[in-house]
């Protein structure tokens, strides 16, 4: 399950990576629409695969970074399904899932970029190794100009993808001219099938404490947190 962006993505995936069914809904409301859509979308997914919830062996969910409300909605849904059926729950980086979707050649540097709003992006840097990825620079929120400076330090072919890259393409293209690979149309948002593939890296084990302890990876503070200030307690003298 993936809902860190306006694209709601869910999929049923076997351990060998075979996608049994997948559905994606793209909308501009990064949270409330996820909550309205999810029940019907889940029913449609199981119907398409001709499977039932009892046949699930685990739940994988993208935990961010991304839209705050969307992350809370998708994680709460994933926790509810996993807890009700005592299923393993695995949280996966949305940036790594997005990077995994790029058919980059061996050794290429893959840079997933999501729009963080406020003239910032969420980004990380990976290197393609075999069927997986090695993290070269961990996820962070930053201005696109900062990412452009960082990419100057990485040699070899580059693959940039994601909605954040589309929004700030002019800035990032200038900094990577002559090194970018053209791989055609690439996903602009993380997809559930890559989230599942990453979750299968480790054995799936049900852990109630870990399930309830899993939290979104916001990377930066929300507007509410930034605007909140602890009220001062009134001074009182001795009784």
The pLDDT tens digits for 8-22 are: 999 999 999 999 999
Per cent of the chain over pLDDT 70 is 91
> Is residue 40 a part of any domain in this protein?
yes
In whole angstroms, give the CA distance from residue 126 to residue 40: 35
Question: Do residues 90 and 199 both lie within one domain?
Answer: yes
For residues 26-51, give the mean pLDDT.
86
For residues 109-130, give the mean pLDDT.
97
For residue range 39-81, list pLDDT tens digits in order: 999 999 999 999 999 999 999 999 999 999 999 999 999 999 9
Return the CATH number at 145. Answer: 3.30.420.40
- The pLDDT value given to residue 33: 83
Q: Give me the residue label for tokens 């559930």.
A: 192
Question: Do residues 90 and 12 both lie within one domain?
Answer: yes
Residue 239 has pLDDT above 70, yes or no: no
Question: Do residues 88 and 167 both lie within one domain?
Answer: no
For residues 24-42, give the mean pLDDT.
81
Query: DSSP letter string over 18-65?
Result: -EEEEEEEE-S-SSHHHHHHHHHHHHHHHHHHT--GGG---EEEE--S
> Is residue 59 a part of any domain in this protein?
yes
Question: Do residues 85 and 107 both lie within one domain?
Answer: no
Q: Which long-range contacts (CB under 8 A, 24 or more apart) does 31-39 make?
A: 31/67, 31/68, 31/69, 31/70, 31/72, 31/73, 32/69, 33/6, 33/8, 34/3, 34/8, 34/69, 34/70, 34/73, 34/74, 35/73, 37/8, 38/8, 38/73, 38/74, 38/77
Question: Do residues 58 and 79 both lie within one domain?
Answer: yes
Residue 222 has pLDDT above 80, yes or no: no
> Is residue 184 a part of any domain in this protein?
no
Question: Do residues 90 and 121 both lie within one domain?
Answer: no
Residue 234 has pLDDT above 70, yes or no: no
Residue 160 has pLDDT above 50, yes or no: yes
For residue range 189-213, list pLDDT tens digits in order: 999 999 999 999 989 999 999 999 9
Residues spanned by the domain of 148: 102-176
* Residue 2 DSSP label: B
Higher pLDDT, 229 or 53: 53
- The pLDDT value given to residue 238: 46
Q: With bands split at pLDDT 50, 70 and 90, how would you rate the model's confidence at 233?
A: very low
For residues 92-118, give the mean pLDDT.
97
For residue range 106-116, list pLDDT tens digits in order: 999 999 999 99
């Amino acid at each position: 399950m993936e809902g860190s962006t306006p694209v709601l993505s869910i999929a049923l995936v076997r351990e060998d990576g075979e996608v049994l069914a997948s559905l994606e809904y793209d909308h501009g409301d990064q949270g409330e629409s996820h909550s309205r859509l999810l029940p019907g979308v889940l029913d449609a997914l199981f119907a398409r695969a001709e499977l039932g919830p009892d046949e699930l062996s685990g739940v994988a969910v993208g935990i961010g970074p991304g839209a705050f409300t969307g992350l809370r909605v998708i994680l709460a849904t994933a926790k509810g399904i996993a807890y009700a059926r005592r299923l393993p729950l695995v949280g996966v980086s949305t940036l790594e899932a997005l990077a995994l979707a790029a058919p980059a050649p061996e050794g290429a540097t893959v840079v997933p970029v999501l729009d963080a709003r406020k003239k910032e992006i969420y980004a990380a840097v990976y290197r393609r190794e075999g069927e997986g990825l090695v993290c070269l620079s961990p996820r962070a929120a930053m201005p696109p100009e900062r990412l452009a400076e960082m990419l100057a330090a990485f040699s070899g072919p580059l693959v940039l993808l994601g909605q954040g890259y589309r929004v700030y393409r002019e800035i990032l293209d200038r900094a990577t001219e002559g090194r970018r690979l053209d791989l055609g149309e690439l996903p602009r948002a993380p997809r559930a099938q890559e989230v599942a593939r990453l979750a299968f890296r480790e054995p799936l084990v049900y852990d109630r404490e870990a399930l309830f302890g899993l939290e979104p990876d916001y990377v930066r503070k929300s507007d509410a947190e930034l605007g909140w200030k602890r009220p001062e307690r009134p001074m009182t003298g001795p009784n």
